[in-house]
Amino acid sequence: MRLTPLPRSYLHGNRTVEFLVVTLACLVVADGVITDFLVRQGFGFEANPFLQFWVRNDYFVLLKLVSGVLVALLLWEMHRRHPTGILMLSACLVAAYTMIVFWNLFTLVVSRG
C-alpha cells in the first residue's frame, strides 16, 4: 500500500500557531503523566469527572497522548480558515494547560515535601 505524501503547502503555515499547537500537545501529555503519577502514588485525584475512570486505567497516558495529538492536528487544520480565532483559542488553551501542569507540579512538590 502506497500512501500519498502530504503536499508541502500543508505543512507550512503560521509559525506562531505551529508553536502553540505543538506546545499544547506536549502540555496535555505532561498533564497526563503527572496526573497519573499523583493518582497512583495517592497524592492527588483527577478532578475531571469524564477522566476519573480512565486515570485508574493503564491507558490513561496513551489516551492523553492521542487526544493531545488529535487536538493539535485539528487546530492546525482549522487555522487556515480561521487564523485569528485559532491563534487566540490555541493561546488560551496553552495558558490553561500551563496553569494545570504548574498546579500538578505544585501538588507533587507539596505532597512529597
13 within 8 A of 76, measured Cβ to Cβ: yes
Helices (H) and strands (E) in the chain, counts: 5, 0
pTM listed for this prediction: 0.84
pLDDT in tens, the chain (113 residues): 676 665 555 556 688 999 999 999 999 999 999 999 999 898 888 888 888 888 888 889 999 999 999 999 999 999 989 999 999 999 999 999 999 999 999 999 998 76
At CB < 8 A and 24+ separation, what contacts does 93-100 make?
93/20, 93/24, 94/20, 94/23, 94/24, 94/27, 97/24, 97/27, 97/28, 97/31, 98/27, 100/27, 100/31
User: Which amino acid does the sequence have at 62?
Assistant: L
